Amino acid sequence: MNIDPVVNALKSIAKPAASLVINQAQRNETVVRTLKQFNFDPVQPPKDVDGIYVYSLIEYSVDKPEVLLNLFREREIKNAFWSAYTSNDPLGFYKEVEKFLQRTDSEFDIRLMKIELRFELEEFGEIFIKVAKRSKSKEFEPFPEWNLDEYPTEFKSLIREKIRSFCGRQFVFDAFKQFCNKNRSGYFTVVGDAGMGKSTIAAKYVWDNKLPCYFNIRQTSSNRAELFLESIRKQLSKRYQLQNVEKANLADLLEQVSKKIPVSEHLVIVVDALDEVEQEAGGNLLDLPTALPERIYFLLTRRPYTIDKKRLSAPDVPMEELDLRANDYVNLSREDIKKYIGLFLNDDEDHKKALRQWIEDRKIDDNDFVEQVATKSENNFMYLRYVLPGIAKGDYEDLSLTQLPDGLQDYYQVHWGRMGMDAKPQEVKVFILFILVEIGTPITWKMIADIAKQDEYDVQSVLEEWVEYLKQQDIKGEICYSIYHASFLDFLKAKRVLDSKRKLFQEVNQRIADYLIGKMA
């Protein structure tokens, strides 16, 4: 199949024009329309390699810059991809693409546009594999593990999401570098309140340095010591070709690794959200070793804690904490917050036009907007992640700059009130949100509907209404939902405590219990 007409059609919706494609529904509609334009069945892909390649390119390329479309149209790239696919060598594909780009002008364009090439090649490969599976053609089996990075697939979407609009935090990375330079090994912990960007700092450091990592996530129950050890064991085994370590504990693993690290190098393991770990009392969180070999460091993150909750003891290992709330870092954090606001105001294709219109309608100076929103954020990035897109969407058309919420918790409360969540007719929405709180793991909207005893369409409508607060995951082919951020989970739990006497919240737990009993019967 001639790929050129397809690429030419896709160019008409490539960025920057694709700033119009602002949500998943519109994107899906564009994909379906383009597939039909070239006589593809949106439900059933073709079974030949050329057809699957073009089909996948359509699914991948909506809203992608033109330079990437031109890259994938090259026959040399297509052949390199298929060779890497059949030999289960995704890193080989990355290397071939880099070689190709060095002979063209596209390399400069990709760097100029700050495109993460490894990310894009991986995304295309993942889409190709999904389409190939839907084709049900034996020609594409066995399906390769399309992983272009050292860190595990389970954390890729989280890391990608966190680094998309990353800026600042250099003072954190500088402090960690100094810690490593002056100590032979050690634990370095970044401490901060919910929403201050701890997970983003961890994700950025992992992304830039391609390091072993583990992200504790309470909502998905990925927060237990045995899961952490299993994941780190696999990562270290792959990186250092360790043998016969299937039952090795972390201390033994690190001893073996220390013998394989070149003298001029060191190893950093990144662990996010120690505060979300679930573990029986006694011993260090995640069973972190009380001694570390030389040139091995841990970069940890956690919320503030009382001394009894620290649970990290290693008397002979250097330890240091950087508290993002400390006076020494308040001004540095504020500067990063202002840069982040500027990013939305000047560079974000999806929001900058609407944000500027809101500012102009109120005759606000750009600097005043940045300064006042920075103050209201209380140095909390999660606040900005919600409020700035909310302004752009028109959620605050009836408010002035001074009337915007103060801080993240106030934001949640203001939004809760503006959504009418305390009103009697809104109880079904509260019920659905609290199912997500109490169930504790990602679940499908059909399961939510069964527990809530509500029409599936009505449940889907509620989930769409709260979409920016929910995380969607594809688990075994089904879309599952959970609370997006721990700070919102905390807010909802506080609501539950405050309203503990209301029958509505007691009924949530009873319905969940009845549903689970029914499934077991």
Measured from the Cβ of residue 193, the count of other Cβ atoms closer than 10 Å reads: 18
Cβ-Cβ contacts under 8 Å for 386 (sequence gap 6 or more): 411, 415, 468
CA distances from 82 to 75, 129, 452 (A): 11, 11, 47
| Spatial separation of the C-alpha atoms in residues 514 and 508, rounded to whole Å | 10
Q: Helix H segments across 352-455?
A: 352-361, 366-377, 381-393, 407-418, 427-439, 445-452
Query: What's the predicted TM-score (pTM) here?
Result: 0.72
CATH superfamily assigned to domain 153-325: P-loop containing nucleotide triphosphate hydrolases (3.40.50.300)
CATH, domain range 420-520? 1.10.10.10
Closest CA to 179 of 387, 318, 61, 36: 318
Domain 153-325 identical in fold to domain 420-520: no
User: For every one of its 521 residues, what pLDDT tens digit does the chain have, with 9 covering 90 and above?
Assistant: 677 777 777 777 655 433 433 456 677 788 888 888 888 888 899 999 999 999 999 889 877 888 888 899 899 999 999 999 998 888 888 889 989 988 887 777 777 777 888 888 988 999 999 999 999 999 999 998 887 776 777 888 888 888 877 888 899 999 999 999 999 999 999 998 888 889 999 999 998 888 999 999 887 778 899 999 999 998 898 888 888 888 899 999 999 999 989 888 999 999 999 998 988 888 899 999 999 999 999 999 998 888 878 889 899 999 999 999 888 888 899 999 999 999 888 887 788 888 998 898 888 898 999 999 999 998 888 888 888 888 888 888 877 888 888 888 888 888 887 777 777 667 788 888 888 888 878 888 888 888 888 888 888 888 888 877 888 777 777 888 888 787 888 888 887 666 655 677 778 888 888 888 877 76
> Cβ(14)–Cβ(63) under 8 Å?
yes
Domain borders along the chain are 3-135, 153-325, 330-407, 420-520
Residue 96's Cα: distance from chain center in Å?
A: 28
> Angle between the 352-361 and 381-393 helix axes, to the nearest 10 degrees?
80
Phi, psi of 65 (to 5 degrees): -65, 155
Residue 400's Cα: distance from chain center in Å?
A: 32
